[in-house]
Amino acid sequence: MSNKRIVLAVTGASGSILAQRFLETSREEIHLVISSNSDQVIEYETGHNSEHFKKMASYVYDDRDVAAKISSGSFIFDAMVVMPCSMNTLAKIAAGISDSLITRAAAVSLKERRRLIIVPREMPLSLIALENMERLTRAGAIVAPAMPAFYTRPKSVDDMVNFVVGRIMDLCGIDNELVKRWKEEERD
Ligand SMILES: Cc1cc2nc3c(=O)[nH]c(=O)nc-3n(C[C@H](O)[C@H](O)[C@H](O)COP(=O)(O)O)c2cc1C
């Protein structure tokens, strides 16, 4: 077990199943924050309410609590993952706005040069969204869109979800068997 300390932020973009799979699969110390706008998306897409997500986390914070411990640069963690990331939250982080715990913790990740992984879900993308992604990348974040590959010949939504979540875990340095790796069997 790699035993990483991960801040997982869930926002109101489509793709709450990605956060659900991360929570179900990970054995790490997860510090979870869910934006209030995510609640209806989580219920609509997964059939569970956000309490179901919270039960799987090690620690849970209210997004309105900008004084929570993850809001401080003195809180050490291995990576912050915003998944799924709405264009709204992405724009706020890119603009340096810190009016919620999620946006504050992301701003802290950038200023402390910690690993910040943004997993946006939107299609198509406006110039504004693309410029915000460029800005985040220049500031040190990793923009890793929720884009499954097809060379793995996915047979189900689960396969596609596992691919995306597995690649995000790779970026966090978390050991995982979710990703079917390219030509791996040929190397063994
Ligand atoms: C069912 C549903 C699906 C949505 N999907 C997306 C999406 O894929 N991407 C996105 O940027 N916003 C999406 N939204 C809109 C966001 O929820 C909305 O912009 C919200 O203000 C985001 O707030 P937050 O960033 O605080 O979570 C969706 C909303 C609903 C109700």
Distance, CA of 51 to CA of 54 (rounded, Å):
5
Return the CATH number of the domain spanning residue range 5-187.
Answer: 3.40.50.1950
Indicate if ligand 1 lies below 6 Å from the C-beta of 10: no
- The preferred substitution site among 10, 45, 86 for testing ligand 1, maximizing ligand atoms within 8 Å of CB, is 86
Indicate if ligand 1 lies below 6 Å from the C-beta of 114: no
Q: Hey, what are 132's tokens?
A: 């915000």
Distance, CA of 105 to CA of 7 (rounded, Å):
9
Of all protein residues, whose CA lies closest to atom 17 belonging to ligand 1?
12
The whole-number pLDDT of residue 103 equals 98
Contacts of 103 (CB under 8 A, 6+ apart): 89, 92, 93, 97
Q: What is the pTM of this model?
A: 0.96
- Per domain, the residue ranges of the chain are 5-187
Contacts of 38 (CB under 8 A, 6+ apart): 10, 11, 12, 16, 50
Average pLDDT over residues 140-169: 96
Distance, CA of 103 to CA of 172 (rounded, Å):
19
- pLDDT tens digits for 90-104? 999 999 999 999 999
- pLDDT tens digits for 113-151? 999 999 999 999 999 999 999 999 999 999 999 999 999
Indicate if ligand 1 lies below 6 Å from the C-beta of 40: yes
Indicate if ligand 1 lies below 6 Å from the C-beta of 41: yes
Of all protein residues, whose CA lies closest to atom 25 belonging to ligand 1?
89
The whole-number pLDDT of residue 188 equals 45
- C-beta atoms surrounding 39 within 10 Å: 16
Q: What spacing in Å lies between the alpha carbon of 132 and ligand 1's midpoint?
A: 16
- C-beta atoms surrounding 153 within 10 Å: 8
Q: What spacing in Å lies between the alpha carbon of 152 and ligand 1's midpoint?
A: 29
- pLDDT tens digits for 33-71? 999 999 999 999 999 999 999 999 999 999 999 999 999
